[in-house]
Amino acid sequence: MHKKLVLSAFKKAKEEAKAATGVNMSVTALAKKISDYMLEECRFQYHEKSLRNKYNLALQEDDALELKSTVANCLCCYLGHKNYEEFIIQNRTIKEEFSVTEQKLENPIKTSKRMKSEPTSISEKLKIVIHKNKVTLIFCSLIFLLYFGLYMIDRQRWMVWDHYHYVEVPFDVNKYGMGNLKLYKHERIKNFIKVNPDCDYAFFKPNGNENLWYQKSTSGELEYFTSYGLHPETGKTLKKITPYMIRKYICESY
């Protein structure tokens, strides 16, 4: 199931990138996109190279791909699931529906083999019935998956970056663009703010931990934020403030 999880994550990343940019990203770029998500949303770093290697393993016929539980759970969150258990249950449910239906359809075939009158014509008729039922089953399954996907999107809360902070918005790709919509995080909206610090700013907490992070904007200017994460526009990882950076760019007398 880890193999399916990795392939599904890369498929979603590819579709999102295609919708946002109009081009197909390379596997390396997709791996970086997923790695950045894991850093920002799951709060741990899983290098893009490791993700790329897992993807290449998943493409092989051997299904012995293993992931750490933290990695698997984070990829499930990226796909819209609560955790790995929910991912397994939903995928098993779909698989079992196919299995049960096919088993029911196979029973008439075994019965027809015992019938002596017109075995050939009956067999052909049963094959036609089975084929039609399989097509119907596949069509109904696709409708179910589409409905479930739309339901999950509608149920999920979303947010976008609005100049100085994140704001909650409805899911509207035409208005905001797929690349700008992010999964709603209360702590992001509450604590992640762009600021313009001066000499009076509390750069460090009483215990010595940093209280400010920085990164360059798309125009090359330094921008400062009140919480750790990714730059909301460039996607680059924010850096911790240091006394050197404070004296050089914010307050010479610090």
Q: Which sequence spans correspond to the domains of the chain?
A: 2-78, 85-155, 158-250
Alpha helix ranges (H) inside 114-241? 119-155, 173-176, 186-191
Cα separation, 187 vs 109, whole angstroms: 59
- From first to last of its 254 residues, the chain has per-residue pLDDT tens of 788 888 899 999 899 888 888 888 899 989 999 998 988 888 888 889 989 988 888 888 666 778 888 888 899 888 888 888 888 888 775 554 444 444 544 454 444 444 444 445 566 666 676 777 777 778 777 877 776 665 555 568 899 999 999 999 998 888 888 888 888 999 899 999 999 999 999 999 999 999 999 999 999 999 999 999 999 999 999 999 999 999 999 999 98
What 3-state class would DSSP assign to 44?
coil
pLDDT at position 230 is 93
The arrangement of strands across the sheet holding 165-169 comes to: 165-169, 158-162, 182-183
Q: What angle do CA 185, 187, 190 make, to 5 degrees?
A: 115
Which helix (DSSP H) or strand (DSSP E) does residue 158 occupy?
strand 158-162
Cα separation, 123 vs 110, whole angstroms: 10
pLDDT at position 150 is 58
Q: Is the dihedral of CA 153, 155, 156, 159 positive or negative?
A: positive
